[in-house]
Structure 1
């Protein structure tokens, strides 16, 4: 089944929910253009989720996707945190910051009953998850209002695991994709495959509709994925320069520079592997360093460095999330980009 039929949308285009670089404005624009707009909720409080969904429902009656993380909250490790802060101390000194006065920052919330309570007021058509799935009770609440459930797989084993739990569609997240790897049955990045190696495996060994994601940034790439048998495509990086995105100025500058040709997986900004444009801290500490504490605790100590450097128009300590193919990034309205990607 194609996603156009499954989700009731015009185009087989899902806008990837991108926490930290977008809100409801981008989701609304894509939905109004006939794609499936996506709202990232992992970094939002229940009150903010409610506000954003209210804005979406006031602006469009088109189907919408809300996205959550399903990670297990880690047990803080004081020794590991101390090693991480010690590694960052020289950068604090360089920027004139006090390394002993690091404020707490809002973390990434795993999906829970409180979030589900908020969603039940709006009954979003699609609820998507990263890092697996929540418990069956929460899934059944979503199914109760007719919501479709999707989640991402980075390996065949993950896709089979998701299918066994009755998801309505599976996102095949290729290694090219920007942002956090959705991996949840393995933490070995060497097991990760490119999209056009992963996609045929999932199509052959599962019967659930498969949505292709990773490096898709043009109508030709969309057609290639659909020709192989994908039910639709999910696209994130290509939307980062749209005016409706909340991409920071330093991030936009990086996307338009030659630096964007070099991306890598890194644990430095959150504690989990995520793809972004290589910058100073990735080069100096090593992108997959074991120094950061477990996800999402790593972000606390690096946040002041990011804020101070961005105030100087510098991206040395910023997570510049991007996929391996930034050529499709265009400074045009998100609706126009959606129509172009769909081949209108």
Structure 2
């Protein structure tokens, strides 16, 4: 039995688990339409994640995915963080605000989050996926014993091999075109920047795991191309941002429909890790600064504070408006309608 059949997924379409944008309503709508809906819980705690899972289960009896961030523990560096805040000071001053006095580690890695781990064992979501790396063997073994199907993101063959060796059930091949954070295990290592289709074909012919293609795929033609290259499914994120069920705010939606969609850019300035988003004032500043951002997610604490100060003054150009290179191809419509259209196009 194939992975999709086991999960009763009738359309080879996965909604990317966009932390901060994906909602129970969006995940359930995708799953109810025959795809695999996803929740991104890397930016919340165990209680918040449990609530999202319970709300999703109230809306669908089909399989859905819960995604965790498994980043390395950041190394606090007071001097580096102070220099970063000083570099950002003029940005805050432009909106009559001051940068934070110090920066915090705002997101806990799943590798160390015992409460999140226990919550997942208690709720046993049908699918659990990992981004930025892999948890320990004990956690993988326990989640599989609880009945969870496990996925993990790879940006190269080495990461894919580690995912297979760890006992996961499928690998998400994330190309450089993808919106949001690069899933690379070590952000300080050289990045070969493999495109989605090159990486998908490489993993489909060499990995022992089923492959889900991710990055820049926006329509049925892209889904069909991924399947032809050996993927079992395609993962789409940016395509769902404009759906009414997503929690993207009005500024994010407007930016997605603007010229900025034609100029997505990879930046570390917002969070401290490489991530692709719509070109805006923050990404432009990040491209010009020579200062070194603190480790992820410490840098994100500053980025979120700046965005809040700017938004309070009516400026929306400092948000984390993540989007892939296919952004101009997005089509605003309810998620179920989008699933039906994507499926029809892919035939």
TM-score w.r.t. the length of structure 1 is 0.94
What is aligned with 1:44?
44
TM-aligned CA deviation for residue 287 of structure 1: 7.1
- C-alpha contact 1:216 1:222 (8 A) present in aligned 2: yes
3-state DSSP class of the match of 2:128? strand
Q: Which residue of 2 aligns with 1:125?
A: 126
- Whether contact under 8 Å (2:187, 2:273) holds in the other structure is no
Tell me, in whole angstroms, the C-alpha distance in 2 between the residues paired with 1:102 and 1:255. Answer: 32
SS of the counterpart of 1:286?
helix
8 Å CA contact retained: 1:250, 1:310: no
Give 3-state SS (helix, strand or coil) of 1:99's partner.
Answer: coil
Partner of 1:324: 325
Task: Tell me what 2:86 maps to.
Answer: 86
Quickly say closer, same or farther: Cα 1:323–1:100, change in 2 above 3 A: closer
Supply the distance in 2 between the matched residues of 1:2 and 1:18 (Cα, whole angstroms).
26
Residues of 1 paired with 2:92 and 2:177: CA distance? Answer: 32
Q: 1:142 to 1:196 in 2, by over 3 A?
A: same
Shift of 1:281: 2.6
Alpha-carbon distance between aligned partners in 2 of 1:185 and 1:292, rounded to the nearest angstrom: 16
1:284–1:123 distance in 2 versus 1, CA, 3 Å: closer
For 1:77 and 1:146, how far apart are their aligned partners in 2? Answer: 40
Closer, same or farther in 2 for the Cα pair 1:186/1:316, shift >3 Å? closer
CA contact 1:268–1:287 (8 Å) conserved in 2: no
Say if 1:292 and 1:298, in contact at 8 Å, map to a contact too.
yes
Deviation at 1:121, TM superposition (A): 2.4
Shift of 1:343: 1.9
Structure 2 residue runs of 5 or longer lacking an equivalent are none
Residue 329 of structure 1, CA deviation: 1.8
CA contact (8 A) 1:152 1:182 kept: yes
Quote the residue 1:34 is aligned against: 34
Assess if the C-alpha contact under 8 Å between 2:133 and 2:153 holds in 1: yes
Alignment of structure 1 residues 189-338 onto 2, 5 Å = 190-286=191-287, 290-338=291-339
Distance 1:296 1:185, change over 3 A: closer
For residue 291 of structure 1, report the CA deviation from its aligned partner: 2.1
How much does 1:2 deviate? 4.8
> How much has 1:147 moved relative to structure 2?
0.9
| Cα 1:38/1:287, change in 2 over 3 Å | farther
**Distance (whole Å) between structure 2 residues aligned to residue 193 and residue 325 of structure 1:** 16
